[in-house]
Copies of this chain bind each other. A is one copy, B any other.
Amino acid sequence: MLSEKIEKALEGSSAIRAMFVEGKELAEKIGEENVFDYSLGNPATPAPSSLNDTVKDLLDKEDPLVLHGYMSNSGYEDVRAAIADNLNRRFGTKFAWKNIIMTVGAAGGMNVVFKTILDPGDEVIAFAPFFGEYRSYVSNFDGVLVPVAPDYDTFQPDLEAFRGAVNEKTKAVIINTPNNPTGVVYSDDTMKKIAGILLEKEKEYGKDIYIISDEPYRELVYDGVKENFLTKYYHNTLVGYSFSKSLSLPGERIGYLAVPDEVTEAEHMLSGLEVANRILGFVNAPSLMQKTVAKCVEEKTNLEFYDKNRKVLYEGLTNLGFTCIKPEGAFYLWLKSPVEDEQEFVRTAKKYNLILVKGSAFGCGGYVRLAYCIAHEKVIRSLEAFGKLAAEYGLNGQGE
């Protein structure tokens, strides 16, 4: 009855959303305070307090026909200028307002990009582990997602495997750093090498290959790691951004695409993206939120909130004998399953009211993801449950 693709998507569904639902069901049974739900990347620290004041101020001062009205499909020019200025100041870029397209979140932005560049059969490389929705975004436009394995020590991409994966069908490479689900930040060296390989391959195949940089976690970095902006490494870099995490606005669906002048025929690309934004049915990013983020673009989220969780969780789990990749960004921790089948581990964890997401949902079995964007006291209390879980698997933790 439904389209083949949707029937298939329904079968696969989202493992993250499924665990979120399991957590909710458990919470109804035993009380929410007793469930340690590490499933969903939903910020638990509110939007900056100034944001609501900004919205009220806009409602008082702006003409409602402008504030709630149609504008260019790519967004208000003043909003795009404010974002360009902010990026230029922070990263030394040279964006004008026209290089920015406002989008319905980063998910909307990525679909707009794939609609604009993919012909059926085109390949898009993603470094495993990766956000599972990338598969759908690429499939929406009949592209083929090609996973490339990580270096399992560092969870930086395996660059030799990457070089081998690029071929004449490769149209784009998705890069997501700070990374969901690992929390790893790609090093300067990694980025330079990726750029080097792509330049070489562009020449070899005589075609454009794009980096699509999915940057919702750009500002969520710890331990003195610097915020990075990827357009400096490679000419054909398209940046997708969302204010979901940096301003704790995931429900508002507000983000942007940045297209540097260095992109091949950048103006033509921008026209294509604008049309795709319209005909996919986004039409434009929500107007009131466009004006709001333009005024709040210098605001910062409560990084300390996540950092506290990160430290306690990483130390606690390591002490219990778990093997974790040390996260330097985002709000995810990537934990090696003590048994090969991480789905069994996920089920066992649930016995202790711990809701985790299986790594195979991110194209990388044998691991699980913890989204530690939850209340700090819960993280602390969860360590006792993790202790019991470690004991069940006979880990030699000092915490036992």
Contact = CB atoms under 8 A, between A and B. Distances in A.
Contacts of A64: 46-47, 51-52, 248
Contacts of A7: 272
Interface string A236-275: 0000000000001111111000000000110011011001
Interface residues of A, number: 79
A140 B112 CA distance: 12
Contacts of A269: 1-2
Given A42-B69, A251-B71, A14 B286 contact: no
A29 interface: no
Interface string A203-247: 000001000000000000000000000000000000000000000
Interface string A35-69: 00000101110110001100110011001110111
Given A2-B268, A6-B115, A116-B6, A286 B283 contact: no
Question: DSSP majority for the A interface?
Answer: helix
B9 A281 contact: no
A119 B8 CA distance: 12
Say how many copies of this protein the assembly contains: 2
B70 A133 contact: no
A117 interface: yes
B3 A118 contact: yes
A3 B248 contact: no
A59 B57 CA distance: 12
Nearest to A14: B278
Contact of A250 (B56, B69, B271): B69
Interface of A: 1-7, 9-10, 13-14, 17, 40, 42-44, 46-47, 51-52, 55-56, 59-60, 63-65, 67-71, 73, 104-105, 107-112, 115-119, 133, 136-137, 140-141, 208, 248-254, 264-265, 268-269, 271-272, 275-276, 278-289
Given A14-B278, A47-B68, A253-B284, 11 more contacts: A2-B116, A2-B117, A6-B116, A10-B271, A52-B64, A71-B251, A104-B283, A108-B281, A108-B283, A252-B287, A253-B286
